[in-house]
Amino acid sequence: MTDQPKPLSRNEEIKARSRHLRGTIAEGLARAETGALAEDDTQLTKFHGIYQQDDRDLRPERAKRRLEKAFSFMTRLRVPAGILTPAQWRAMDRLADERANHTLRLTTRQTIQFHGIIKSNLKPAIQAMHAALLDTIAACGDVNRNVIATANPYESAVHAQAVAAARALSAHLLPRTRAWHEIWIDGERVAGGEAEAEAEPIYGATYMPRKFKIAIAVPPRNDVDVFAHDLGLIAIVGEGGIVGYDVTVGGGMGMTHGDPATFPRIGDVLGYVPADKVIELAEKVVLVQRDFGDRAERKHARLKYTIEDRGTEWFLAALTERLGWELLPPRPFRFDATGDRLGWSESGDGRSHFTLFVENGRVADREGSPLKSALAEIAGFHEGVFIITANQNLVIADIPAHGREAVASAIARHGLANPAGGLRRNSMACVALPTCGLALAESERYLPGLVAALEDELAAVGLAQEEIVIRMTGCPNGCARPYLAEIGLVGRNPGLYNLHLGAAFDGSRMNRLYRADLDHDAILAALRPLFAAYARDRHPGEHFGDFAERTALAA
């Protein structure tokens, strides 16, 4: 029997026929009889940063009444390195009220998602983003996504270089098609046939086999979880700032329950690249994956599987061939944590920064906690920038000396003080229900209550202030990077979670499955004795993840 090549996945056909990501999206937007778009077009809108969703809380009621699902759209901004001006923040705040569900959702990749935009509001919403000099191009889809970078403005010069690199990488790897502008902004078709007019020099007609993600970390902070990325860049700082990067490849978090062919993986350190060659390096990594990634099986299409199947040495050889030069041996680096440094800090240039904990990234006005209004007020007078962190938090950054008092007073007046508990400060949950179509269990709506219960347990053994990283997702896709948390909870079924333990505090080692299918009480029962043992038996300075690896998981 001969080895037949496997047929391409359906998404490959959709991309190939799409005339560079146009499909029939424009026609679907004009169709008033449904709140949805054509199915194939919903795959293409992802490349435009737009996901069709429906409110899952309303599904049973609407099905009973034989109504169409309550369709709406999630849109995701592209914000390299997570930086927004106050004017942009104010515009996005208004947009959330006028076109979406009155909330802004800070994501684990340093951007904002809007939920609940109905079809007729989509175009005006995107146009409002464009008017604020923002866009949603390539925020999702089989392309390079939002490039993220350490949100640490305290070392101003180095941070500025990392941000500049993130922006340059994002611009270089952006699709060239004018489809986004044509559909959402000006409505004008490019004359002379899109295919010829818009060759995609990097991606070609069918783009990447799957999503592709890049992060830049500036040690000692691994606040971007650099090892979770297809391509990770670890800044090496010398005289004059960032002189180059250690390069990691093949990280990724997603897996499918019960399918051992899928797994989370942390990236391999491949070598060192001088700073002036980093764009060329990134492009060639993309090209190797573009040409060798699996286009038949989407669950097997990320770079991590290409590398796992063919080997790191093969990958390095394929990369070197395209580069025409060799990576240098990696330089030493040291990470200390994946979390943000919450609260006030100062940089050498006389500016201050306040890192605000935003629970699970949801910026909303709630009774007793008017976070959204408070941030809009601060954006009204703030003279610096806002930086969204990859931990779903927000840095009110670059505050000049004369502006600090006003920010401090707004924080105090609106009760925005950061939480005291070490577990909550290091907690993160993905969106999950009711908007995520893939959620198997609650996440964002459940984690705050679980953390309260776990903090009681920690307080009982004297560990209330202990910094422990906990992350939850409503399914195994890994959107809050739960496999890199000291306590990872991964949704299995409504109300049931797999408990993973043992990741390193600095994000350099993944956790492992400890117990499966736990409900709320079972999660507490599993962790209670471990917290007690940790309080009693830990080595000086030992983090909870290391302790769990040494004790509970070793047993």
Residues with catalytic roles: 76, 145, 211, 213, 430, 436, 475, 479
Closest approach, Cβ 441 to ligand SF4, in A, equals 8
- Residue of 440, 423, 427, 438 lying closest to 517 (CA atoms): 440
Q: How many Å from the N-terminal Cα to the C-terminal Cα in the chain?
A: 47
Beta partners for residue 365, in sequence order: 370
Residue 305 to residues 143, 264, 338, 347, 512, Cα–Cα distance (Å): 17, 10, 25, 41, 19
What is the phi/psi pair of residue 404, to 5°? Answer: -65, -40
Q: Of the two residues 219 and 474, which places its CB atom closer to ligand SF4 in the complex?
A: 474
Closest approach, Cβ 447 to ligand SF4, in A, equals 11
Q: Report helix, strand or coil for 128.
A: helix
With binding defined as CB under 6 A, does residue 49 bind ligand SRM? no
With binding defined as CB under 6 A, does residue 475 bind ligand SF4? yes
With binding defined as CB under 6 A, does residue 438 bind ligand SRM? yes
> Which residues have a Cβ under 8 Å from the Cβ of 415 and sit 6 or more positions away?
368, 369
> Site for ligand SRM (CB under 6 A): which residue of 108, 121, 206, 427?
108
With binding defined as CB under 6 A, does residue 96 bind ligand SRM? no
Number of residues that bind ligand SRM (CB under 6 A): 31
Task: Pick the stretch among 283-291, 430-438, 460-468, 495-503 that binds ligand SF4 (CB under 6 A).
Answer: 430-438
Alpha helices in 84-217 (DSSP H): 86-99, 119-131, 156-172, 179-180, 194-197
> Is residue 426 a contact partner of residue 223, using CB atoms and an 8 Å limit?
no
Cβ count near 501 (within 10 Å) = 24
For residue 362, the partner it binds in ligand SRM, ligand SF4, none, with Cβ less than 5 to 8 A by kind, is none
Instruction: Tell me how far apart the alpha carbons of residues 252 and 267 are, in angstroms, rounded to a whole number.
Output: 8
> Site for ligand SRM (CB under 6 A): which residue of 477, 484, 487, 549?
477
> Site for ligand SF4 (CB under 6 A): which residue of 430, 454, 468, 518?
430
Q: Of the two residues 352 and 473, which places its CB atom closer to ligand SF4 in the complex?
A: 473
Question: By CB under 6 A, what part of segment 305-344 binds ligand SF4?
Answer: none
What's the one-letter identity of residue 510?
M
With binding defined as CB under 6 A, does residue 121 bind ligand SRM? no
> Which residues have a Cβ under 8 Å from the Cβ of 550 and sit 6 or more positions away?
542
What is the phi/psi pair of residue 57, to 5°? Answer: -65, -30
Q: Of the two residues 108 and 144, which places its CB atom closer to ligand SRM in the complex?
A: 108
Task: Pick the stretch among 32-40, 225-233, 274-282, 427-435 that binds ligand SF4 (CB under 6 A).
Answer: 427-435
Q: Of the two residues 59 and 413, which places its CB atom closer to ligand SF4 in the complex?
A: 59
Closest approach, Cβ 440 to ligand SF4, in A, equals 7
Q: Are strands 268-274 and 83-84 parallel, antiparallel or unpaired?
A: unpaired
With binding defined as CB under 6 A, does residue 362 bind ligand SRM? no
> Is residue 315 a contact partner of residue 250, using CB atoms and an 8 Å limit?
yes
Closest approach, Cβ 148 to ligand SRM, in A, equals 7
For residue 112, the partner it binds in ligand SRM, ligand SF4, none, with Cβ less than 5 to 8 A by kind, is none
**Strand ranges across the sheet with 71-76:** 50-54, 71-76, 112-117, 104-106, 362-363
Task: Pick the stretch among 250-258, 320-328, 405-413, 536-544 that binds ligand SRM (CB under 6 A).
Answer: 250-258
For residue 473, the partner it binds in ligand SF4, ligand SRM, none, with Cβ less than 5 to 8 A by kind, is ligand SF4
> Site for ligand SF4 (CB under 6 A): which residue of 288, 379, 431, 527?
431
> Site for ligand SRM (CB under 6 A): which residue of 14, 202, 226, 253?
253
Closest approach, Cβ 127 to ligand SF4, in A, equals 27
Angle between helix 119-131 and helix 86-99 axes, rounded to 10 deg: 170
Cβ count near 353 (within 10 Å) = 25
With binding defined as CB under 6 A, does residue 439 bind ligand SF4? yes
Residue 103 to residues 229, 365, 433, Cα–Cα distance (Å): 28, 8, 15
> Is residue 142 a contact partner of residue 207, using CB atoms and an 8 Å limit?
yes
Instruction: Tell me how far apart the alpha carbons of residues 508 and 543 are, in angstroms, rounded to a whole number.
Output: 13
Q: Are strands 71-76 and 50-54 parallel, antiparallel or unpaired?
A: antiparallel
**Strand ranges across the sheet with 268-274:** 148-149, 214-217, 231-238, 241-249, 268-274
> Which residues have a Cβ under 8 Å from the Cβ of 506 and sit 6 or more positions away?
222, 335, 336, 337, 338
> Site for ligand SRM (CB under 6 A): which residue of 152, 222, 435, 498?
435
Closest approach, Cβ 480 to ligand SRM, in A, equals 6
With binding defined as CB under 6 A, does residue 479 bind ligand SF4? yes
With binding defined as CB under 6 A, does residue 14 bind ligand SRM? no
Closest approach, Cβ 17 to ligand SF4, in A, equals 27
Task: Pick the stretch among 130-138, 304-312, 477-485, 529-537 that binds ligand SF4 (CB under 6 A).
Answer: 477-485
For residue 109, the partner it binds in ligand SRM, ligand SF4, none, with Cβ less than 5 to 8 A by kind, is ligand SRM
> Site for ligand SF4 (CB under 6 A): which residue of 418, 443, 498, 511?
443
Please give the full DSSP string across 428-439, using - where no structure is assigned. EE---TTT-TT-
Q: Of the two residues 82 and 545, which places its CB atom closer to ligand SRM in the complex?
A: 82
> Is residue 156 a contact partner of residue 352, using CB atoms and an 8 Å limit?
no
Task: Pick the stretch among 18-26, 107-115, 153-161, 508-516 that binds ligand SRM (CB under 6 A).
Answer: 107-115
With binding defined as CB under 6 A, does residue 228 bind ligand SRM? yes
With binding defined as CB under 6 A, does residue 430 bind ligand SRM? yes
Which residues of the shown chain bind ligand SRM in the complex (CB under 6 A)? Answer: 51, 53, 74, 76, 107-109, 111, 113, 145-146, 210, 213, 228, 252-254, 302, 361, 392, 430-431, 435-438, 477-481
Which residues of the shown chain bind ligand SF4 in the complex (CB under 6 A)? Answer: 430-432, 436, 438-439, 443, 473-475, 477-479
